[in-house]
């Protein structure tokens, strides 16, 4: 029986999404499901090439509107080549960032027109929408400290300044408030185990999964 589900992880920098995504994927796999773990920007060869362009370089290398278009070019390739085929065969797709990151980073924090972003969601995503979105929430300073301590990641967005990151946090919380049926806000403070328990409670409660 096809019972694929699409779960996205969202939030500001260093909130712990990648760490928790791995834990959730392992738990779902252990219960016998096929799980596809992926990320944005990226997740397919074409989208990974765009990731290189958009995440590296000076903070002002691209305008928010250009970033929006690059994110959506990458997202369309990822959706067509990875996400839709996986869902069609019944896999569970867990994705580190998706469309809400464009709403929050390029829209709420960057100033790109929300109407442009909404139109791209309609025309580029079509019916491919997350069943559940986990929005990781953490005070900005704590997230940036975690992200800075972690080695080897692209720094373009991390270097944008505190005001940007405060708008970003507010933007994500506004999405969670506006779409409570799809989104669960996750308190990302505390130990890895504390956060893992909150994630599992949301997945179990929203998607009626046991395991
Ligand atoms: N972007 C992306 C856009 O602007 N628009 C878009 O449409 C999309 C899709 C992606 C960048 O692209 C932007 C947003 C981003 O800036 P990235 O390198 O993939 O860049 O970065 P992030 O997705 O932000 O990932 P991060 O690694 O910064 O954050 P995570 O995944 O939330 O955090 P994680 O798990 O890597 O943890 C960070 C550090 O904290 C520790 C971890 O061990 C790690 O060292 N940690 C904890 N420490 C203490 N307590 C806990 N509970 C902890 N949980 C994790």
List the pLDDT tens digit at each of the 211 positions of the chain. Answer: 457 999 999 999 999 999 999 999 999 999 999 999 999 999 999 999 999 999 998 888 999 999 999 999 999 999 999 999 999 999 999 999 999 999 999 999 999 999 999 999 999 999 999 999 999 999 999 999 988 887 555 566 777 889 999 999 999 999 999 999 999 999 999 999 999 999 999 999 999 786 6
User: Which atom of ligand 1 approaches the CA of 21 most closely?
Assistant: 35
Dist CA 86 CA 83 (whole Å): 5
Residues 6+ apart with CB under 8 A from 147: 13, 14, 153, 158
Dist CA 92 CA 4 (whole Å): 5
Check residue 151 and give its pLDDT: 57
22 ligand 1 Cβ < 6 A: no
Whole-model pTM: value is: 0.96
Between the alpha carbon of residue 69 and those of residues 4, 62, 106, 107, the distances in Å are 28, 10, 10, 12
Do the Cβ atoms of 170 and 161 come closer than 8 Å? no
Dist CA 61 CA 153 (whole Å): 17
Nearest CA to ligand 1 atom 47: 16
Strand extents, DSSP E, 147-189: 183-187
Ligand 1 site-directed mutation target among 70, 95, 97, most atoms within 8 Å of CB: 97
At residue 93, the 3 state secondary structure works out as strand
User: Which atom of ligand 1 approaches the CA of 15 most closely?
Assistant: 32
Residues 6+ apart with CB under 8 A from 85: none
Dist CA 35 CA 49 (whole Å): 24
Check residue 152 and give its pLDDT: 56
Q: For the chain, give the number of residues.
A: 211
Check residue 113 and give its pLDDT: 98
Q: How far is the CA of 188 from the centre of ligand 1 (A)?
A: 12
Check residue 153 and give its pLDDT: 55
Q: How far is the CA of 136 from the centre of ligand 1 (A)?
A: 10
Strand extents, DSSP E, 17-169: 35-39, 92-96, 132-137
Q: Which domains are delineated in the chain?
A: 6-207 (3.40.50.300)
41 ligand 1 Cβ < 6 A: yes
Q: How far is the CA of 159 from the centre of ligand 1 (A)?
A: 13
């Amino acid at each position: 029986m096809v019972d694929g589900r699409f779960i996205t992880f969202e939030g500001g920098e260093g909130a712990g999404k990648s760490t928790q995504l791995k834990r959730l994927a392992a738990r779902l796999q252990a219960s016998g499901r096929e799980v596809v773990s992926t990320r944005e920007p990226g997740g397919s060869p074409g989208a990974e090439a765009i990731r290189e362009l958009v995440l590296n370089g000076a903070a002002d290398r691209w305008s928010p509107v250009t970033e929006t278009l690059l994110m959506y070019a990458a997202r369309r390739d990822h959706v067509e080549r990875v996400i839709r085929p996986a869902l069609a065969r019944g896999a569970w797709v867990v994705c580190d960032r998706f469309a809400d990151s464009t709403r929050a980073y390029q829209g709420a924090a960057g100033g790109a027109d929300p109407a442009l972003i909404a139109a791209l969601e309609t025309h580029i995503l079509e019916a491919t929408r997350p069943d559940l979105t986990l929005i990781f929430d953490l005070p900005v300073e704590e997230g940036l400290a975690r992200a800075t301590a972690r080695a080897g990641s692209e720094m373009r967005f991390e270097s944008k300044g505190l005001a940007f990151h405060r708008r970003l946090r507010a933007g994500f919380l506004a999405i969670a408030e506006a779409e409570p049926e799809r989104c669960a806000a996750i308190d990302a403070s505390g130990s890895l185990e504390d956060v893992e328990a909150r994630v599992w409670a949301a997945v179990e409660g929203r998607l009626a999964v046991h395991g």
